[in-house]
């Protein structure tokens, strides 16, 4: 199989493949570093539905200043990109740089919430019908959609789904409409942030749409991706309304928790239940 993939990549890149090595990560599909005989290095991802991921990377490259890998080929089962060299983790300098990049990204707006097409997150469908109001979009296309996906997959108990539905029907108790829809990377966790020498070298695996920038910021805290240095710099550029850390962050993180509950079940279901309970449902 790898031999066939290498042959395809060589034809696409215009140079024979000299070597293929697996890369860490790749929760959804396998990822490889591909070295070409002409000295170039590419990253190849093998899975299903990769044409959408390639589309999202190209969209970010064409419509924002967010650093993303250049897409060489985006087929349904094979995504080939320029390889991004990394060195070091997300230190203080990288967090500051990330804050500047995301503040700039979130300044790109649209007339409604959603996107021009459905996208994916973690290999799962992410519907994005254009919707005038954020609360309606977040309720229907994020919380309830992913909750039902987890329910249908046998990951989320029916009683918890009913509690989620009750909470989703009262979002206006805790959320307000943002000033404008912001362009989002959409899957902001540590594994998708590539660093080199205290700078962000690139963001990968996007789940693009236009939404409330706070949902991106919340996701960035769920697995400890960014901390104080990031938020100090981000709020200098785009101040946050009071209550984000105290309340809205946990509410927004229900969506990535539901994604993980759908994919993996286990402790993520308990995390969903605790969050729903926190909001009185």
Q: Determine the Cα–Cα distance for residues 224 and 191; give it in Å rounded to an integer.
A: 11
Is-catalytic flag, 187?
A: yes
Is 123 within 8 Å of 49 (Cβ atoms)? Answer: yes
Helix (H) or strand (E) run with residue 258 in it: helix 254-264
Is 158 within 8 Å of 269 (Cβ atoms)? Answer: no
Q: Determine the Cα–Cα distance for residues 111 and 183; give it in Å rounded to an integer.
A: 11
Is 167 within 8 Å of 275 (Cβ atoms)? Answer: no
Q: Determine the Cα–Cα distance for residues 84 and 104; give it in Å rounded to an integer.
A: 21
- Which backbone phi and psi does 4 adopt, to 5 degrees? -65, -40
Of 77, 104, 152, 187, the active-site residue reads 187
Q: Determine the Cα–Cα distance for residues 240 and 224; give it in Å rounded to an integer.
A: 19
- Cite the active site residues: 187
């Amino acid at each position: 199989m790898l031999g066939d993939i290498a042959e395809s990549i060589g034809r696409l890149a215009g140079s024979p493949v000299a070597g293929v090595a697996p890369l860490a990560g790749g929760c959804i599909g396998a990822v490889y570093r591909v070295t070409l005989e002409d000295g170039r290095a590419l990253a190849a991802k093998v899975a299903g539905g990769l044409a959408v991921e390639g589309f999202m990377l190209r969209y970010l490259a064409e419509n924002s200043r967010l650093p993303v890998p250049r897409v060489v080929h985006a087929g349904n089962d094979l995504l080939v990109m320029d390889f991004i060299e990394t060195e070091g983790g997300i230190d203080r300098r990288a967090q500051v740089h990330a804050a500047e990049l995301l503040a700039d990204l979130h300044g790109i707006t649209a007339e409604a919430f959603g996107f021009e097409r459905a996208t994916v997150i973690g290999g799962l469908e992410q519907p994005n019908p254009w919707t005038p109001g954020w609360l309606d979009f977040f309720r229907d296309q994020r919380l309830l959609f992913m909750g039902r996906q987890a329910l249908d997959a046998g990951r989320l108990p029916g009683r918890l789904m009913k509690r989620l539905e009750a909470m989703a029907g009262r979002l206006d108790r805790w959320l307000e409409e943002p000033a404008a829809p912001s362009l989002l990377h959409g899957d902001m966790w540590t594994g998708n942030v590539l660093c080199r020498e205290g700078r962000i070298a690139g963001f990968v695996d996007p789940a693009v749409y236009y939404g409330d920038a706070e949902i991106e910021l919340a996701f960035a805290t769920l697995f400890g991706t960014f901390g104080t240095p990031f938020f100090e710099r981000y709020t200098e550029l785009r101040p946050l309304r009071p209550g984000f850390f105290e309340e809205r962050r946990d509410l927004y993180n229900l969506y990535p928790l539901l994604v993980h509950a759908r994919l993996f079940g286990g402790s993520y279901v308990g995390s969903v239940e605790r969050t729903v309970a926190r909001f009185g449902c």
